[in-house]
Amino acid sequence: MPFPEKFLDLFKPETKAFLFLSTVNAKGQPQVSPVWFDHDGEHILINTNEGRLKDRNMKSQADVAMVIQDPNDPYRYLGIRGRVVSFTREGADEHINRLSMRYYKKPWTYREGQKRIIFKIQPVSFDEHD
């Protein structure tokens, strides 16, 4: 499913928009996290540390909801319902470093024992607000 054309600016690296990721735990309780994100033209890419709540939730429940909010207009945002289609540790350290350079303009600071993972999320529907 292609991203809506009038919201493509939110996906540009220079926009530095945050994505609010909503997952559900095993008890059915929601959890929301603001995260850095990337895309491959078709999927949303989320990078996190293995063992975090969002990591555990997305591994056990593939359905997620997301909002990308325009940093220049908080009333303009794109809601997305999606499904985790894969996850990998391959390339995850390089990916989080690229995201850190984009959002912070400095390399990622690694912590002892950290294991990064990339989740690939396929959008299934969009809710446009502008």
Give, as one character, the DSSP assignment of residue 4. Answer: P
Query: Does this model's pTM top 0.75?
Result: yes
The string of pLDDT tens digits covering residues 59-70 is 999 999 999 999
Q: How far apart are CA 110 and CA 97, in angstroms?
A: 9
Residue 70, pLDDT score: 97
- pLDDT (tens digit, 9 = 90+) per residue, 29-42? 999 999 999 999 99
Which pLDDT does position 113 carry in this prediction? Answer: 87
Partnered with residue 4 across adjacent β-strands are: none
Task: Chunk the chain into consecutive blocks of 10 residues (it has 130) and report each block's average pLDDT, rounded to whole numbers.
Answer: 93 97 94 97 97 96 97 97 98 97 93 94 97
| pLDDT for position 26 | 87
Domain ranges of the chain: 5-129
Say if domain 5-129 classifies as CATH 1.10.420.10. Answer: no
* Residue position matching structure tokens 């600016």: 9
Q: Which residue has the tokens 């984009």?
A: 102
| Interior angle at CA 79, CA 37 and CA 130, nearest 5 | 110
